[in-house]
Structure 1
């Protein structure tokens, strides 16, 4: 992908450039991946608590979660995207926090998802965030996140910042080390790859 140098923020930007391109991000959102999240959400307990990590403006996933009858919590590091989220989904709770520093509302959840986030982070932060998401699951809880199956690096199309996938072998190892079982992987109509892992019921 082509690097867009005029959108490249400083290293101190916790949104990794997405606050600066919030309007373009919202305009580019589509329903791709919605069916994957619908299938995942349908397996969660009715009324269960779910945390969306890197929720952006909430489209297209928050409506899926709300329609499934879930109690939705969300975080995102972009103040502009968080403001848009609050306008659209006042019934959900969102905090403006980077995933690696967030206390995740100081609670645990029946489901945690992170769509389009993990691969934006440097490797060390990916490992931290994946471990935090795993530890935020209740017994029997479910994690869904997206990242390419292969180990690969590229420049983000909107921000021009580097993105990287650690690859399926590494992701499976991280989840296993946190006590999760990978129960499925899948791809959507846009060729985005998803990992579905669960914390075994105690």
Structure 2
């Protein structure tokens, strides 16, 4: 059976005790800044939400209505404990029924590069198609086209590289948005659905 959590179910307890409780962990300031660009009440999707800390917590604190997806049952169980009123599903992002609806924003921190090249390409198009006019996409992936083993899970990881991510964003009918790095050196790509 395929591990749809890309190895995170097997290390979930370690992750939850460490990064899964880091309210001001790496990327928190970026998630806060992104959340401030959306109107209060906007509907957003957190892909690869883990425990919901820090990203979903930040989205909720900004007055946004959050939905979440993660493929690790242990992470989703912890998420439900942390945010009992937030709709969350335990499944792979590529199969999520949440893509049958639309959102004002979709954020994915620390997930994209865990997926196969084909899945990344498909997912970027699905995320773009699920955005309302004016909707915003934000995801992390290394700038360079590289492959490596994830430090926590030892699973294969891959970045398609900045040129491919920009091409995928633009061919998904999104305007290419700002790119930047957070305090941990994670690179962010963004796109906006024209209004």
Once residues 142 and 98 of structure 2 are traced to their aligned partners in structure 1, the CA distance between those partners, rounded to angstroms, is 25
CA contact (8 A) 1:24 1:158 kept: no
| SS of equivalent to 1:100 | helix
Structure 2 residue 59 is the aligned partner of structure 1 residue 65: yes
Q: State how far apart, in whole Å, the 2-side matches of 1:193 and 1:27 are.
A: 25
Q: CA RMSD in A?
A: 1.0
Q: Could you tell me whether the CA contact under 8 Å between 2:99 and 2:126 is conserved in 1?
A: no
What residue in structure 1 maps to residue 36 of structure 2? 42
What is the CA–CA distance in structure 2 between the aligned matches of 1:137 and 1:192, rounded to whole Å? 24
TM-score by length of 2: 0.95
Which ranges of structure 2 fall in alignment gaps of 5 or more residues? Answer: none
CA displacement at 1:20 relative to structure 2: 0.9
How much has 1:91 moved relative to structure 2? 2.2
CA offsets 1:125-181 (integer angstroms, 9 cap, x no match): 111111111111000000000001111111001110110000000000001111011
Name the count of aligned residue pairs: 191
Rounded to whole Å, the distance in 1 between the matches of 2:58 and 2:127 is 20
Higher relative contact order (CA 8 A, sep 6+): 1
> TM-score, normalized by length of structure 1?
0.92
- Residues 71-117 of structure 1 show CA distances to partners (whole Å, capped at 9, x for unaligned) of 01001111110000000001211011101111216310000011000
In structure 2, the residue matched to 1:114 is 108
Q: How big is the shift at 1:28?
A: 3.3
Corresponding residue SS for 2:152 = coil
> C-alpha separation between the residues in 1 aligned to 2:47 and 2:183?
22
Matches within 5 A, 1:121-200: 121-200=115-194
What is the DSSP-based 3-state SS (H/G/I as helix, E as strand, rest coil) of the residue aligned with 1:95? strand
Instruction: Indicate if the aligned counterparts of 1:100 and 1:125 stay in contact, CA closer than 8 A.
Output: yes
Preserved contact between residue 148 and residue 168 of structure 1 (Cα < 8 Å) = yes
Separation of aligned partners in 2, 1:25 and 1:144:
23
